[in-house]
Amino acid sequence: MARAALFDVDGTLTDTNHLHVITWWEAFRQAGQNVAMLDIHRAVGLGSADLIAHLLGDDRDHERDDEISAAHSTLYGTYFDRLPALNGARELLHALHGHGWRVVLATSAGGAELGALRRAIDADDVIAGIASADDVDSGKPAPDPVHHALDIAECAPDEALFVGDTVWDMRAAARAGVRSIALLSGGIPRRDLEEAGAGAVYADPAELLERLDSEVLTDKR
């Protein structure tokens, strides 16, 4: 049976979480909403609609949701030509591919944003497919993105590994029955990631790459 390595992108393969925090903060500010950056940071990884609902609550003015989301997209888009990949990200994907794993991205990004992230990672030659926000009805922490990534990889949950950086990633993987690894590169505390279901925690893609042969590839659950 084929094995699959499923990856979140923001905060996992690209150093972009704090760019999202700043641009969401400004989008909320423009809409007259004072939202703490810490709260925004912990919500990064949710799709736009879910992030707004999570931070502003059900009693918000729903008519402004599209305005806030569009403002964030416009602000974040100013960084598209210089989004940074995390250290070791490209090499990690190539190493897994070299070991025969199918590499699939599972991300809440879509459209032009996803294109910019792919250019930053620079590993399209080893990526078997992408489960994006455009492909599912419900984003993380629902298991839908992980299920779709498994379908793309043609792989069963017990033969897959999900790598992410947020509690939403870990919860989505757990609900899909997929073993998960968390990275600290997104800025979420280790304890939060472990409590959300992370089977192991590493600093960043570079450390995961260093431990690949000794720990990750040999883990049969």
Q: Would you state the pLDDT for residue 213?
A: 86
Q: 178-212, pLDDT tens digit by residue?
A: 999 999 999 999 999 999 999 999 999 999 999 99
Whether 192 and 107 map to the same domain: the answer is yes
Flag whether pLDDT at 218 surpasses 80.
no
Mean pLDDT, residues 4-30 taken together: 98
- Look at residue 121 and tell me if it is in a domain: yes
Whether 63 and 89 map to the same domain: the answer is no
Whether 90 and 25 map to the same domain: the answer is no
113, 77 Cβ separation under 8 angstroms: yes
Q: Give the phi and the psi of residue 218 in degrees, each rounded to 5.
A: -95, -5
Whether 90 and 188 map to the same domain: the answer is yes
Look at residues 85, 42, 1 and name the one whose alpha carbon lies nearest to residue 193.
Answer: 42
- Look at residue 61 and tell me if it is in a domain: yes
Helix (H, G, I), strand (E, B) or coil at 156: coil
Whether 105 and 163 map to the same domain: the answer is yes
167, 173 Cβ separation under 8 angstroms: no
Q: 97-117, pLDDT tens digit by residue?
A: 999 999 999 998 888 999 999
86, 119 Cβ separation under 8 angstroms: no
- Look at residue 221 and tell me if it is in a domain: no
Give the residue with greater pLDDT, 56 vs 110.
56
Helix (H, G, I), strand (E, B) or coil at 44: strand
Domain stop point among 60, 78, 96:
78
Whether 182 and 212 map to the same domain: the answer is yes
Q: How confident is the model at residue 221 (pLDDT cuts 50, 70, 90)?
A: low
Whether 148 and 61 map to the same domain: the answer is no
Q: Would you state the pLDDT for residue 133?
A: 74
Q: 144-176, pLDDT tens digit by residue?
A: 999 999 999 999 999 999 999 999 999 999 999
Whether 128 and 155 map to the same domain: the answer is yes
Whether 73 and 90 map to the same domain: the answer is no
Q: 135-146, pLDDT tens digit by residue?
A: 888 889 999 999
Give me the number of domains the chain comprises. 2
Flag whether pLDDT at 219 surpasses 80.
no
Give the residue with greater pLDDT, 135 vs 177.
177
Whether 95 and 54 map to the same domain: the answer is no
Question: Beta-carbon neighbour count of residue 165 at 10 Å?
Answer: 29
Eight-class DSSP state of 4: E
Domain stop point among 61, 78, 95:
78
Look at residues 60, 24, 57 and name the one whose alpha carbon lies nearest to residue 41.
Answer: 24
- Look at residue 185 and tell me if it is in a domain: yes
Helix 111-121 to helix 89-98 angle, to the nearest 10 degrees?
80
- Look at residue 51 and tell me if it is in a domain: yes
Q: Would you state the pLDDT for residue 220?
A: 53
Our CA dihedral for 108, 141, 128, 69, rounded to 10 degrees, sits at 0
Whether 96 and 121 map to the same domain: the answer is yes
Q: Which two tokens stand for residue 187?
A: 């800025």
Q: 10-22, pLDDT tens digit by residue?
A: 999 999 999 999 9
Whether 33 and 10 map to the same domain: the answer is no
Q: Report, in angstroms and rounded to the nearest whole number, the Rg of the chain calculated over CA atoms.
A: 17
Q: Would you state the pLDDT for residue 216?
A: 80
Full domain range(s) for residue 190: 4-16+85-216
Q: What is the CATH number of the domain that holds 109?
A: 3.40.50.1000
Residue carrying the six token digits 């918000």:
60
Mean pLDDT, residues 77-101 taken together: 97
Q: How confident is the model at residue 134 (pLDDT cuts 50, 70, 90)?
A: confident
